[in-house]
Amino acid sequence: MYKVLYKYTEISIMQQTFPKRATSCCKGWCVVHDATLILSDGTWFTGIGFGRRAPLPADLVHMEHDESPLGEVLFNTTMGAYHEILTDPSYAGQTIVMTSAHMGNYGCDPSWDETFLHRFTCKSLILRDLYDGPLPPGRASLGHLCAQWNVCGLTDVDTRALTLHLRSSGSQYGVVVEGIGHDTQAIRMVTGWIRSCPAMGERDFITPMTVPEPIRFESYGDQHASYALWDFGTKASIVEQLRRIGIGVTVFPASIPLVSILSSDARYDALFLSNGPGDPASLQSHVKQIASVIGTIPVVGICLGHQLAAQALGAKTMKMLYGHHGPNHPVRDLISGNVYVTAQNHGYCVDPSTFPPSAMVWLVNDNDQTVEGFFDEEHRVMTVQFHPEAGPGPWEARSLFGAFRRFVETGVYKILAREAEHAC
């Protein structure tokens, strides 16, 4: 039996209690300890810490925000794929709550990494139940990797109550600390420290997530085109899907000016804007650079790249209450009528009323009607908000990489019937 108790004070505390399980859980690779997730609104959830040891409240308030386990708390509805999620650079600066109850049962493998930096990118991981049993040979446990890669973990949490709270109150900062229990004075001290943290839009998450120097990836088989990918925190599976359709990709750090990339001796058929973390409105210097090259080279993009391309055309982005994080989001193609089941990870979206007349909204989310993709044939721009590469799935939207390639080649939207045969 799980019991959730609600206590209302001037800092709006919500407490959850569980029967404690044996602290032998996860033994051998991390220190298990009582810990608490405290949100900026004063709500708190207790659990058992694993991985990186959470700081004591008295130590936390003397830490810099970037060195602490402070993150924007959001929930992800994926039933597995925890390794790919934790290594997705778009989660930099965030704390991930997994809504599925059981995590870690098939272990972790470095071949599943989504970052070229080969490390976890999020700040903390919140679970209902962390698996601590046998694994296939050669795989590491989820808890071991959290300890190795300095991620604070918290298990035995009422993730259902936490998710419902985030759905109603919205994503917000939170931090994992050791102990606390019923110490309301410590909770007030921690929430005060949380509120002193700069807003997400005022922080730089791109610099630590972009590649340090250009990396070239040749296509598999015959090469039909070469793209310059401007890296804001790209997923490795995006590059993989481009290579599979005959596209060579050079990944460039976000710090290299576009004018330097496109004026080099190498010739590129398109500029690809990657996914990445943070608020797109904070990247105005990059938006101006994109605007300066639109019309001179085809531009395609995914997720953050979609938002930056829209801004470069004059559109505005806006913060969502809790965003889209997880698989099985239905996306409708307004032209063909097809519906794709997609993987998503974004907390911002484009305001459709701010697009220029030349842009056409191509894809919408069937749940909330937010923009999921647009193209502009006049300016040769095509983007999607979701993740068609979908590592590890669902895969049916991967066919849209073919649409990207044809748009770059012809400047015209076209989805082939065989590419949409798996859509609803």
Which three-class secondary structure string do you get for 26-45? CCCCCCCEEEEEEECCCCEE
Scan for tokens 């759905």, then name that residue: 167
Q: Return the active site residues.
A: 303, 387, 389
For the record, the structure tokens of 55 come out as 């700081």
Q: What share of the chain is helix, strand, coil (3-state, %, to 5)?
A: 25, 30, 45
Which distant-in-sequence residues (6+ apart) come within 8 Å of 380 by Cβ? 294, 295, 297, 298, 299, 407, 408, 411
Give phi and psi for 91, each to the nearest 5: -90, 10
Q: Using omega within 30 degrees of 0 as the cis cutoff, is the peptide bond preceding 394 cis? A: yes
**How far, CA to CA in Å, does 382 sit from each of 55, 403, 410?**
45, 9, 12
Q: Cβ(271)–Cβ(240) under 8 Å?
A: no
User: Whole-angstrom Cα distance, residue 371 to residue 385?
Assistant: 7
User: Whole-angstrom Cα distance, residue 194 to residue 174?
Assistant: 7
